[in-house]
A and B are shown apart, each in its own frame.
Chain A
Amino acid sequence: DTEVTQTPKHLVMGMTNKKSLKCEQHMGHRAMYWYKQKAKKPPELMFVYSYEKLSINESVPSRFSPECPNSSLLNLHLHALQPEDSALYLCASSQDPRTVTATNEKLFFGSGTQLSVL
């Protein structure tokens, strides 16, 4: 299994709603990532989890709350979002957070959750 699975594929929510995005991988990867991608723009790093601990937070607003319950799962809890938060949210994983830059290391991306905030 070389897949990163994200659910839901599409999500529409109001500014007062609370929702969660889910990401799952069964490749034994110990680094997991959240990226945000606006239309026609490159993915922007939000969070990195390394061995289930938050290692990087790229100054993301607190209305986005990541959680890594175990080594296979990554959640992104959403609360009081703004319309400008509408984007494709991508989850990724890599085998070892210490070697993501090594020759044979790569990020495996999920297909993303397309989020619309009304």
Chain B
Amino acid sequence: TQLLEQSPQFLSIQEGENLTVYCNSSSVFSSLQWYRQEPGEGPVLLVTVVTGGEVKKLKRLTFQFGDARKDSSLHITAAQPGDTGHYLCAGAWGTDKLIFGTGTRLQVFP
């Protein structure tokens, strides 16, 4: 059974702080995606990383794929209240199976 563990599960921080969310597995992914989900909505894709060691930036968000393609991180610089949400990593095994991580709920206070 493929398992993707995210840490931390919950994070409450003040506006302006930096934070990092981790996504770990004992399995090697063919690729990894990060999604953000708002209450009552479906997840929305933020980024896909494919190559070991790959780093992608999306404004204040930096995504990194581990060299061995077993782990990933999401770093947010100077968090804003608008960053509040449920962040999910999702690992791909094979061609058509995407399994979600355990999730991280982020709350950014003004």
Binding site for B on A (CB under 8 A): 4, 31, 33, 35, 40-45, 48, 50, 55-56, 88, 90, 92, 97-107, 109-112, 114
Contacts and interface: CB of A to CB of B under 8 A. Distances in A.
Interface class of chain A by DSSP: loop
Given A42-B103, A97-B95, A103 B44 contact: no
B105 A40 contact: yes
A103 B45 CA distance: 12
Interface residues of B, number: 24
A99 B44 CA distance: 18
B7 to A, nearest CB: 14
Contact of A42 (B41, B48, B100): B100
Given A45-B99, A48-B96, A109-B41, 4 more contacts: A92-B42, A100-B92, A102-B31, A103-B31
A43 B100 contact: yes
B43 interface: yes
Contact of A97 (B41, B96, B102): B96
Contacts of B95: 97-101
Contacts of B97: 45, 48, 56, 100
Contact of A107 (B31, B45, B94): B45
A4 B103 contact: no
Nearest to B40: A111
A101 B97 CA distance: 8
Contact of B31 (A31, A44, A101): A101
A100 B100 CA distance: 14
